Chains A and B, each alone.
Chain A
Amino acid sequence: MDFSMLTATMASKSFEKIADICDNIMLQVAAEGIAYQDEWPYAIHLLGHIYVDDINSARFLWKSIPSSIKENQPEVSAAWKIGQRLWTRDYGGVHEAIRGFEWSQELQVLVAAFSELYTKKIFQLLQSAYSTISIQDAAFFLGMNGDDATNYVLQQGWAVDLASHMLTVKKQVIMSEQKLDPSKLQRLTEYVFHLEHR
C-alpha cells in the first residue's frame, strides 16, 4: 500500500484533502485484492471525514470496520467517539471526546486542527443563533471554563453582564461581494428582453 500521498498531505496540513485521498487509496487496494483492513489507518480516515464535516461518511466507514479492529485499536474508537458526538449533536461532548484520549503523535496535529476549527464554527453558530446567552452555556458549547469562554468572546466584541452571568452577542455584519461583473448583468438583461419580446 502506497501511503506517500497521505503522508505528504498530513505533513503539509491540507487536512481537508485527507478523506478523499483515503477513500481513493482504499478502493484501489481493495480492487487489487489486498487484505488492507489490519493495516488501514482508520483513525486518520475517520478524522478526515469528520474534519470536512462529512459525518455520514464517517459513520458508514465506522460501520464497515471489522469488530476485531474496533476492539483492539482504541484510537480508532476514540476517533469515532468524536464523530458520534457530532452525529448526536452533543456539542459539549465533542470537546470531551477530543480531550478524553491520549492521541498518538501522528494524530495530535490533526486532532488539534479539528478542535480549533470546531471551536470557531461553534462560536459562529452561537453568534448567529443567540442574542444573549449565559456564560455557563457558552462555556459548555466552546468547551472551555467560564473565564476562558468569557475572555474568548470579549475579544470578539461581545459584552458581559457579571451580575446576571449573561453574555450579549455582538452580531457580525457579513460583507458579501456585491460588485457585479457588467457582462453578467448584460446577460441577465438579454434573457429578460428575450422573454418579453417573444
Chain B
Amino acid sequence: MDPMEALVAQIRGLSSCAGDLSRLQSILKQADDSLRFDSTRLSAVLSQLDPSKHSLGCLYILEASTAGPVSKEQADILVPVIARFINSSAAEHIRMAPDKFASVCKRLKDQVMLLNVPVRGVAPLLTAVRKLQTTTEHLTPLHPEFLLLCLLSKCYKAGLSILEDDVFEIDQPRDLFLYCYYGGMICIGQKRFKKALELLHNVVTAPMSTINAIAVEAYKKYILVSLIQHGQFSTNLPKYTSSVAQRNLKGFCQPYYELANIYSTGKIAELESYVETNREKFENDNNLGLVKQVVLSMYKQNIQRLTQTYLTLSLQDIANTVHLNSPKEAETHVLQMIQDGEIFATINQKDGMVRFLEDPEQHKSCEMIEHIDSSIQRIMALSRKLTAMDEQISCDQLYLSKAGRERHRYDFDDFDSVPQRFNI
C-alpha cells in the first residue's frame, strides 16, 4: 500500500476523540518527510478527507505540500483550497498545531499578494484569527497578516473588528509591533486618531533590546497624529520606554521633530513653507497625506485656543488671528468644528460674532453614569490582571535569581522585599 494511502486511512480513523488525535499527531510528525510530495497530487489526497472532520490531518498535508515556492498558476489553484480549509476546519484540531496552521495561513497571504488580489485573503484570515485564538485577549501571529491584507485591499473597516479587542497575551514581540503599526495605520485611515495614537504609542514604548524599523516608522506617525489630535507633541517618552528607544528614536525622525517645533509656534505660513521644502522626505516616508492633515489641524488648534480666552469674538477677528482670508472662511472653520463636537459655540451672522460656550454635558445623564461605570469596570479588570501578573513574576525563578544576584548593587531599602537569593 502506498504510504500516502496508509496515512490517509489513519487520518480517517483517528480523528474523532482527543486521545486518538494526539496519537495521530505523533504519527503525522514522523511522517512529515513523506508528506512533502508533489503538490499536484494535493487535491486527489485532500478529496479523500473531510476538512471539517479530519482537520488535523488535512493541516499537516496542506502545510507540507505547500512548503515550496509556487508559481502564479499554482497559487490560483491553492488559494481557494486553503481558504476552504480555513473556513471548515475544526478549531480544536488546528489549535493542536498552531505553528502549522499559522504557516499555512501565511502562505495564503503570500499567494494572494503574489496574485495581486489581497482582498481574497481578508475574510479567510479573519476566520483564521478567530479560530486560532483561545480568547480575544490573545494576539496570534495572524493578526498582523490580516491587518496588512486589510490595508492593501483598502478594506480598512474590516480591520477595525479585531482592533477593538484588548490584547494581553502575545506569542512573539514582532507580532505586537506589526499589529500595532498596521492597526495604527488603519485607524488613521478611518480618522480614529485617538485609537491610532494609543496603538502607535504601544509600538514606541514596547520593550526592545535593539532599535527596529517598525518602531522608527511608528514614531514618525506618532508625532504627526499627536499634533493632529492634541495640537502638541511631547519629546519626552514615558519612563517605561526602553533605553534604546529613548536614545535613538529622535535621530531617525529629525524632520518630524522640526515640524513639531514649528507647529508649536502656531505660525501657519512657516509650517507650510517647512512642509514644502521638506516635501520629498515626507513623501518618501509615505507620510505626506498625514503631514497635510497636520497643517490643516493648525487652524483648528488656533481657533480652539481662542475659546479659552474669549467669550465672544467677531468672525473678522478670528480670521485675522488664525490667518484665514475672510470672515466667511472663519465661519466655515467654526461651523465644521461645531459639527465635529470640537468646540461649543454659536454663530451670530447678523452681528458677525461668535459666542463660545461651555460644554453642555452636566455629567448627570443616565448615559454618562453608564459610561463612568463601564470605565471603572474596565480599570478594575485591568488592575486585577496587573496584580496577577505581578504575582506571577515574583514567583518566577529567572526573575528571582537575577534580582537576587544584583541586589548588592543597590541600596538595601530600595529592594526590601526581594530575597537575598532564591535557589529552587
Contact = CB atoms under 8 A, between A and B. Distances in A.
- A in complex with B: yes
Interface of A: 23, 26-28, 30-33, 54, 56-57, 60-61, 63-64, 89, 125, 128-134, 137, 164, 166, 174, 176-181, 184-185, 187-188, 191
A79 to B, nearest CB: 17
A131 B156 contact: no
Given A30-B117, A184-B369, A188-B372, A129 B335 contact: yes
Interface of B: 76, 79-80, 83, 87, 117, 119-124, 126, 153-158, 189-191, 332, 334-336, 338-339, 345-351, 355, 360, 364-367, 369-370, 372-373, 376
A57 B366 contact: no
Given A23-B155, A178-B365, A33 B190 contact: no
A188 B83 CA distance: 49
Contacts of B367: 176-177
Given A129-B345, A176-B367, A61 B373 contact: no
B120 A131 contact: no
Contact of B366 (A137, A180, A191): A180
Given A56-B190, A57-B156, A166 B349 contact: yes
B373 A130 contact: no
12 contacts: A23-B158, A27-B119, A31-B121, A33-B80, A56-B190, A60-B157, A64-B153, A131-B348, A132-B350, A166-B349, A177-B367, A180-B366
Q: Which A-B residue pairs are the 6 nearest by beta carbons?
A: A27-B123, A60-B154, A132-B350, A31-B123, A176-B365, A129-B338
Given A130-B349, A131-B348, A56 B376 contact: no
Given A178-B366, A184-B370, A188-B372, A125 B338 contact: yes
A64 B376 CA distance: 42
A130 B158 contact: no
A132 to B, nearest CB: 4
Contacts of A180: 366, 369
A121 B153 CA distance: 32
B156 A188 contact: no
A179 B364 CA distance: 9
A6 to B, nearest CB: 17
Given A32-B80, A33-B79, A89 B157 contact: no
Contact of A33 (B120, B339, B351, B360): B120
A30 B157 contact: no
A56 B191 contact: yes
Given A64-B153, A181-B366, 12 more contacts: A27-B155, A28-B123, A56-B189, A64-B154, A125-B338, A129-B347, A132-B350, A133-B349, A134-B349, A184-B369, A185-B369, A188-B373
Specify which of A31, A137, A164 lies most central, judged by the most chain B CB atoms within 10 Å of its CB: A31
B122 A31 contact: yes
Given A56-B190, A61-B154, A178 B364 contact: yes
A45 to B, nearest CB: 12
A125 B80 CA distance: 49
Contacts of A54: 157
Nearest to A184: B369
A83 to B, nearest CB: 14
Contact of B346 (A33, A129, A178, A187): A129
B365 to A, nearest CB: 4
Contacts of B87: 31
A180 B372 CA distance: 13
A40 to B, nearest CB: 11
A191 B380 CA distance: 10
A159 B178 CA distance: 57
Nearest to A133: B349
A181 B351 CA distance: 45
A125 B346 contact: no
B119 to A, nearest CB: 4
Given A54-B157, A125-B338, A27 B349 contact: no
A137 B123 contact: no
A132 B122 contact: no
A132 B348 contact: yes
Contacts of A23: 155, 157-158
Interface centre among A32, A133, A178 (most CB of B within 10 A): A32
A33 B78 CA distance: 11
A128 B189 CA distance: 29
Contact of A60 (B155, B338, B355): B155
Given A30-B122, A56-B156, A188-B369, A89 B80 contact: no
A56 B336 CA distance: 17
A26 B153 CA distance: 12
A113 to B, nearest CB: 21
Given A32-B80, A32-B83, A60-B154, A131 B347 contact: yes
A57 B87 CA distance: 26
A90 to B, nearest CB: 10
Contacts of B338: 125, 128-129
Contacts of A177: 365-367
B295 to A, nearest CB: 16
Nearest to B86: A31
A27 B122 contact: yes
A30 B366 contact: no
